[in-house]
A and B are shown apart, each in its own frame.
Chain A
Amino acid sequence: MSSFGFGLMTAAVLAIATVGFTMQFAVTNVLNLAYGSVMINSAFVAYYFNKHGMNAWITLIFGVILGSVVSWAINKFVFTPFQRRNLAPITVVIVALGVDLIGTFGLQAIVGGGYVSFSVSPGREFHILGMFLSGMQLIILAICAVVLILVHWLLKYTRLGKAMRATSANANLARNSGVKTQRVISTTWLISGALCGLAGTIFALNTGVFEATSAQLYIVMLLAAMFLGGPGEPYGAMFGALTIGLATEISAAYISPQYKEVVAFVVLLGMLTFRPYGIFGSEKTN
């Protein structure tokens, strides 16, 4: 049952990250492999404020802002110029990989290679449904629930959310309907970047100790969760994150925790082989 508790925590963080990741992919058509590097940079900015005395939960705001602004800037100044040149999509993927390496190792050059941790009290422990969860973990679960509800509300009930889904489904038709898709895409980078920054900071809080390269393999988890749910399907991302989070943590109870990403990778390969459009996706998505 304790593995289930760990799995739930991993799933919560992964859900926020994957929803942002898949939203970026669906609306902007960019497979942003630099996502993990933006996550960890956001975590370090939040950590910087925490180190200087700010409450760890308040520093989340700075993680969110950095993730949002940096993601928007990466799209504006790196991805968009490449996309305008009508290069093959693989080119943008390689560019994203380059941005990821620069972001991660650039951060390492600045903060060094040592492990750091937030100064935050885990709070008292609660015994819920056979799981032992700290107050901090319950707050993380609550944040995750609120964020996912907000994302659902955004996509389903707001004009912007509907425009995002329309742009994702058919950008040309959306433009013919009067939707300013470039503005929608920019806003999507801001929102998905905010989710990326939040996920990164919560990831660091949940992990306990972290360093500049801690999120480097996280992209495997993100890809597995996204492909499991269906590329570009935000609700599929939530399902994929829950499944991958639980699967990796429960498997860690039986095999070495070091192989968690391997489990995610096996799921990813399985999905790509048998159902590349995911559980929630359609063949057209593929």
Chain B
Amino acid sequence: MSVELSQAGQVLTATNLSAGYDGRAIVQGVNVEATPGKVVSIVGPNGSGKSTLLKSLVGVVPVLAGTVAIGSRDITNFAPEKVATLGVGYVPQIDDVFPPLTVKENLEIGGFLLPRHDVAGRIEAVLEFFPRLKEMLTRKAGKLSGGERKMLAMGRVLMLAPSVLVLDEPTANLAPMVATQLLEEYIRGFADHGSTVLLVEQRAKAALRISDWTCVLGGGRVVLEGAPKDLERDPVFVESFLGGAARH
């Protein structure tokens, strides 16, 4: 992987975080720390607040209590466009591209904060990483398949060479092989090159395979957390998320 695609990571921390809509907390008292070179995954049942947690970290959902920090800088309730300037790339679960814009225009918007003369070179770098996108530069993003679309969504955030990647269910609606490639080759690869990766993932087994640390969210709170190898021995976790007997 080209090292320039992402930067050396920064620590992303949520401390006693409560966040939600219209003053009503969906996640409550959550502590999460994502560190450079590591993948931290968040798993949990539907409605447990995983997406809300990520959205509150990047400024899309208001933080009602607690703090969010990048390194030592408090970024609680920063506007999303400000969070982007601090090197945080966010890929939402759905609506992750601009459908009426072409692939090239999506990448250009991804590089909106770059100096104009750097955009073309940066697109080239992203296309080296996702060569399939090269053939579809003039195609509208709304016409792409699920896998191509996700590549574009990732490419869009890579335009700014983020130091922190916040990814909300990047494998949703992808074929198993494409999902595995995305997780193991690309997402794990970012962390291996020093970036900070915070990942929400429905496929618990796949998430555990690439994670250094996993938090389990339930009812808006962290109910369990640990290294994947420890969670794989936890009977409750195995029963709830891995659908089988714990490994001993």
Contact = CB atoms under 8 A, between A and B. Distances in A.
A86 B194 CA distance: 41
Interface stretch (A29-37, A109-117, A176-184, A199-207): A176-184
Interface in B60-98: 60, 79-81, 83-85, 90, 92, 95-98
A178 B160 contact: yes
A52 interface: no
Given A163-B112, A172-B60, A177 B105 contact: no
A176 B90 contact: yes
Contacts, number: 73
A253 interface: no
Contacts of A159: 108, 112, 116
Given A159-B112, A175-B80, A179-B112, A165 B101 contact: yes
Contacts of B221: none
A178 B111 CA distance: 8
A166 B108 CA distance: 10
Interface size grouping (class) on chain B = 20 to 34
Contact of B109 (A177, A180, A284): A177
B81 A169 contact: no
Nearest to B89: A176
B49 to A, nearest CB: 18
Interface size grouping (class) on chain A = 20 to 34
A148 interface: no
B99 interface: yes
A76 interface: no
A162 B113 contact: no
A165 B101 CA distance: 8
A170 B95 contact: yes
Nearest to B166: A176
Contacts of B100: 165, 168-169
A162 B85 contact: no
B99 A181 contact: no
B149 interface: no
Given A162-B108, A169-B98, A172-B80, A178 B113 contact: yes
B30 to A, nearest CB: 21
B169 to A, nearest CB: 15
Contacts of A119: none
Contact of A162 (B97, B99, B105, B156): B105
B209 to A, nearest CB: 27
Counting chain A CB atoms within 10 Å of each CB, the highest count among B58, B83, B90, B109 belongs to B109
A173 interface: yes
B14 to A, nearest CB: 18
A174 interface: yes
A176 B212 CA distance: 26
Interface in B98-145: 98-101, 105, 108-110, 112-113, 116, 142
B58 A162 contact: no
20 contacts: A162-B108, A165-B98, A165-B100, A166-B105, A168-B100, A169-B98, A169-B99, A170-B98, A172-B92, A175-B84, A176-B60, A176-B90, A177-B81, A177-B157, A177-B160, A178-B81, A178-B112, A179-B81, A179-B109, A179-B112
Interface of B: 58-60, 79-81, 83-85, 90, 92, 95-101, 105, 108-110, 112-113, 116, 142, 156-157, 160
4 A-B pairs with least C-beta separation: A175-B80, A178-B113, A178-B84, A169-B98
